[in-house]
């Protein structure tokens, strides 16, 4: 790979990232229905992309599934708490009737998408600081991994599944996440343990990235869609965030470290 080709996606990635950051920060800061609407739209788009990869000929099914996923996310926080989780899982079960191939992938990753979106809503209920922290961890992990991987190269992290990801980029992501944890210690009730949790969340985000790469290789596509210039699809951009959000959701069930998540 030439030096120029290593960076040929940098400008569209930066421009798209700036737009997404501006929209995301505004929605997190405002909260309420604005944040719920953003998560609903993202959930709908990710479900649309997932079914698009698995059932490329079934255009009507993926539109209806996207609308159902978005509607569930828009309404779930207004339901009694015991009813929320079953409602969140319902679109994935409904979609099984429309998926003829790769049903295991639909069931597994569809649950990741819906539970990840649900986790984001709950995390914001615990305070904007926790959403900003998690987004920062995932973003810095991705940025550090991108530059370290291209500048340092070296052995691949998991070449059969994600041929571009290197160990140098992976470790750089952990270091970046740890620094985010150090910075946020001063702005949250957490102590030094936030540094360790940040690294664990970074690793979860990297596994989320690898999981989506494995799905794309299985179904034979390069990107989940072309909705975001320089990034591919919404799933290509938020796969890492889904991994971290899923871990945050499960952590909330068993600990009180992340308020509102459980």
- Position 15 scores a pLDDT of 72
Q: Name the DSSP class of 57.
A: T
- Position 5 scores a pLDDT of 52
Q: 196-214 as b/e, with b when 16 or more CB fall inside 10 Å?
A: ebbbbbbbbbbbbbbbbbb
- Position 33 scores a pLDDT of 94
82-141 pLDDT, tens digit each? 999 999 999 999 999 888 889 999 999 999 999 999 999 999 988 888 898 999 999 889
Q: What are the residue ranges in the chain where pLDDT is below 50?
A: 1, 259-262
Task: Provide the terminal-to-terminal Cα distance of the chain, rounded to the nearest Å.
Answer: 46
Q: Global pTM?
A: 0.88
Distance CA 98, CA 257 (A): 39
- Position 242 scores a pLDDT of 95
């Amino acid at each position: 790979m030439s030096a120029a080709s290593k960076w040929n996606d940098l400008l569209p990635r930066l421009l798209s990232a700036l737009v997404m950051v501006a929209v995301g920060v505004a929605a997190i800061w405002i909260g309420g229905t604005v944040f719920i609407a953003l998560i609903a739209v993202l959930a709908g788009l990710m479900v649309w992309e997932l079914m698009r990869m698995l059932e490329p000929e079934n255009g009507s099914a993926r539109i209806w599934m996207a609308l159902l996923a978005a509607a569930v996310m828009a309404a779930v926080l207004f339901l009694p708490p015991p009813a929320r989780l079953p409602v969140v899982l319902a679109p994935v079960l409904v979609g099984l009737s429309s998926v003829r191939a790769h049903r295991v992938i639909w069931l597994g990753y569809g649950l990741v998408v819906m539970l990840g979106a649900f986790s984001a809503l709950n995390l914001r209920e615990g305070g904007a600081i926790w959403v900003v922290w998690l987004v920062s961890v995932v973003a810095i992990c991705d940025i550090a991994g991108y530059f370290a991987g291209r500048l340092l190269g070296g052995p691949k992290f998991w070449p059969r599944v994600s041929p571009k990801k290197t160990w140098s980029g992976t470790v750089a992501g952990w270091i970046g996440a740890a620094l985010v944890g150090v910075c946020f210690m001063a702005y949250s009730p957490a102590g030094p343990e936030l540094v360790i949790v940040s690294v664990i969340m970074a690793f979860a985000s990297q596994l989320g990235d690898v999981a989506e790469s494995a799905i794309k290789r299985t179904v034979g596509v390069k990107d989940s869609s072309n909705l975001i210039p320089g990034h591919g699809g919404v799933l290509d951009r938020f796969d890492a965030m889904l991994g971290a959000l899923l871990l945050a959701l499960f952590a909330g069930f068993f600990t009180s470290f992340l308020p509102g998540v459980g």
